[in-house]
Structure 1
Amino acid sequence: MKNFQHLRKVLMGSAILCTLFTSCSEDELANLKDSDAVFQEQEGMIVVEVETTPAEEGWTENTATAGFTGTSYYQNSGDAQMNNPGESILEYSVQINTPGTYRFIWHNKVNEGDNTTEANDSWLRILGAHDFFGKKNATVKYPKGGTMVQSDKIVNGSSKDGWMKVFCSGTLDWSWATRTSDHEGLNIYATFNEAGTYTVQISRRSTGHAIDRFVLYNEEIVSKEEAEDLSNAESR
C-alpha cells in the first residue's frame, strides 16, 4: 500500500509540473526570474534580457509598449535620480571567456512624454572591468571615479563613483542608441584583460526610461548588425 501511495504522489507531481511548463512558451521558460544567472560570452558576444533578474524598487516590469524582446521590459517608474547613481540597482553577472574590449549597447526607449531628450537615460557601471570608458574616434573619456587607463578626461555631464549616464536620443521608438557624455555621444566600452565573471549594474536616472535587453560584444569578432539582431537568444 505504501508503495502505491508513493507512486500516486509521484505521478500527481509530474502531472502538475507538466501542466505548469506546457502552459509556458519557450521564451517564457527562458526568462524565468533568476538573480543568480550567469550570462556566458560565446564567440565574442553576451545577450541579456533585463527582466531575467527581479525588478528592484522603482523599476516596473511592463509589456504595454510593443517592440520588446523576451517576456517584458523594465521601466523607471520612480523618482528621477539625476545626480544620485546607485538607487535600485539591477545586477547581472557576465562570464567573459574571451578577454578583450567589448562594446556595450542596450535596446531602450523614451517611454514617457514626447521629448526625445527626456526620459532617455539610466546609470551604468561595470564592476571588475580593467577599463570602462566612452569613446568616439580619438576621444576617450571616463566617468568620475572610474579607471583612468587611456585618458584623464571626464565625460561631460553628470557622473559619479564610476557610474556613467547612458542615454538614447533622436527617436521615441525602441532603438539601440547607447551613448555617454553630453553633446558628444560617445560609444561605451569595457575591457576585460582576463577571463572571469564580471558584474553589470544598472540604476535608475530619468523617470520613464525603458530598457529591454543589453549586449556586450567584441567588435573584432561580432559586427554591429549581428549584435543588434533581436532574434539573438539570451546567453545562458
Structure 2
Amino acid sequence: MTLPKKLQIFSFWSIVFFSIVFVANSCSTDSEAFGDLNAEEEPLGDNMDPDNSDDQNGAVTNDCPAGGDTFFAESSGLISIEFENNSFGGDWELRNDANDVSGQGYMVWTGPQRLNQPGEGMVTYLIQVNNPGTYQFLWKSSFRQGDNGTEHNDSWLRFVNANDFFGEKASDGSIVYPNGSGKEPNPEGSSSDGWFKIYRSGDDNSFIWQARTSDNDAHDIFVTFSEEGIYTMEVSARSSFHGIDRFLLFNREMFSRQAAIDAADTFSSENNCD
C-alpha cells in the first residue's frame, strides 16, 4: 500500500532526525569510553604514584622533596658532603682560616652553648639512599677556640626517619641508643629526643675524621637504612666554636673506615635538586 505524500515526507524526516540522534549518542559514548585522545594526561599525585610512595618510616623513593629542599645521592655505598653546602640560619658562620679543610671552608657555631637543648640552629640534609644497609657516620671537625680538646668539640645529630640510629663500641660490640628513642641502653652524658651528642677527641685542633657519643665510653655512630629512599639527617648547635668541614656515611659492608675516608677526599655526593 502506498502512503499518502504527506506521510511519506513525514517518515523521511523522522528517519533523518533519529539517525542524527543515534550518531550523536554513539559519539558521546565512544568519548566516554576512550577519553579525549588529544587531552593532556593529568599527572598523578605523590600519594597515587606507586613508584613514589612513602614507606612506613617516611622515606620517599623518587623526585625532589616538597619545597625544593636540597638532597644528596648515595653512590656505591658512600655519601660524602661538604657541610657548608646547605642553607644556615642562626649563628652559623662560614670560615676559611684553616688549611686542612676542603670546599669553601668550614661552618662554625658562634652562638651560645646549647649543651642540653638540641634543635637550635638546626640544619637539615636530605639523603637519597640507593643501597640499603647499615652505614657508619663520620665528620671532619675541629674545636676553634682554646686548647682543650674536651671543650667546643661537639654538635647534635639526629636521623629522623632511619630504621635505626645507634652507637657501637668497637672493643666489645656494646650498643647505645639516643634518649627519647624508646630504646635502651642510653649513652653517658647528654642526649634527648632522639639526638646524640657527637664529639671528637684530642687536644690537637686540626680537623680530623671522628664522630663518637657517650662520655668517657666512646661509641662510633651508625645508622640503618632498610629500604631505598630519601632520609632526613639533622644537625644542631651544641658547643660554641665547634667547626665542621664535611661529613660522610659509608656502608659498613662495602667500605672500611680508612677506605671511605680516602674515597671522600676525591668524591662528593651529587646534589639532585640544584
In structure 1, how many angstroms separate the alpha carbons of the residues matched to 2:103 and 2:89?
Answer: 19
In structure 2, how many angstroms separate the alpha carbons of the residues matched to 1:212 and 1:36?
Answer: 21
Q: SS state of the match for residue 228, structure 1?
A: helix
Q: SS state of the match for residue 200, structure 1?
A: strand
2:81 corresponds to 1:48 = yes
2:188 corresponds to 1:156 = yes
Q: Which residue of 2 aligns with 1:3?
A: none
Q: Is the 8 A contact 2:165 2:224 kept in 1?
A: yes
Gap regions ≥5 residues in structure 2: 1-67
Q: Which residue of 2 aligns with 1:221?
A: 254
In structure 1, how many angstroms separate the alpha carbons of the residues matched to 2:265 and 2:249?
Answer: 15
Q: Is the 8 A contact 1:44 1:98 kept in 2?
A: yes
> Offset at 1:225?
1.6
> Offset at 1:147?
5.2
| One-letter amino acid of the structure 1 residue matched with residue 101 of structure 2 | F
Q: Is the 8 A contact 1:144 1:154 kept in 2?
A: yes
Q: Is the 8 A contact 1:97 1:196 kept in 2?
A: yes
In structure 1, how many angstroms separate the alpha carbons of the residues matched to 2:180 and 2:165?
Answer: 11
Q: Is the 8 A contact 2:98 2:105 kept in 1?
A: no
2:154 corresponds to 1:117 = no
In structure 2, how many angstroms separate the alpha carbons of the residues matched to 1:52 and 1:81?
Answer: 23
1:156-209 alpha-carbon deviations (Å, 9 max, x no partner): 101110000000011311101210000111000001111100011110000110
Which stretches of structure 1, 4 residues or longer, exceed 3 Å deviation after superposition?
Answer: none
Q: SS state of the match for residue 112, structure 1?
A: coil
Q: Which residue of 2 aligns with 1:209?
A: 242
In structure 2, how many angstroms separate the alpha carbons of the residues matched to 1:231 and 1:84?
Answer: 33
Using structure 2 for the length normalisation, give the TM-score: 0.71
| One-letter amino acid of the structure 2 residue matched with residue 235 of structure 1 | S
Cα distance change, pair 190–99 in 1 and its aligned pair in 2 (3 A): same
In structure 2, how many angstroms separate the alpha carbons of the residues matched to 1:231 and 1:140?
Answer: 29
2:266 corresponds to 1:232 = yes
> Offset at 1:55?
1.8
C-alpha RMSD over aligned residues: 1.2
In structure 2, how many angstroms separate the alpha carbons of the residues matched to 1:156 and 1:54?
Answer: 32
1:52-107 alpha-carbon deviations (Å, 9 max, x no partner): 10222111111112211111210010000000000010111101111110000000
Using structure 1 for the length normalisation, give the TM-score: 0.82
2:197 corresponds to 1:197 = no
Q: Which residue of 2 aligns with 1:9?
A: none
In structure 1, how many angstroms separate the alpha carbons of the residues matched to 2:182 and 2:85?
Answer: 29
Q: SS state of the match for residue 212, structure 2?
A: coil
2:70 corresponds to 1:70 = no
Give the alignment of 1:168-207 within 5 angstroms: 168-170=200-202, 171-207=204-240
> Offset at 1:232?
2.5
2:132 corresponds to 1:99 = yes
My pick for the range that moved more, 179-188 or 64-73, is 64-73
> Offset at 1:226?
2.2
In structure 2, how many angstroms separate the alpha carbons of the residues matched to 1:147 and 1:134?
Answer: 15
In structure 2, how many angstroms separate the alpha carbons of the residues matched to 1:168 and 1:97?
Answer: 29
2:199 corresponds to 1:167 = yes
> Offset at 1:216?
0.6
| One-letter amino acid of the structure 2 residue matched with residue 145 of structure 1 | G
2:169 corresponds to 1:127 = no
Gap regions ≥5 residues in structure 1: 1-34
| Counterpart pick for 1:87 among 108, 114, 120 | 120
Q: Is the 8 A contact 1:55 1:74 kept in 2?
A: no
| One-letter amino acid of the structure 2 residue matched with residue 138 of structure 1 | G
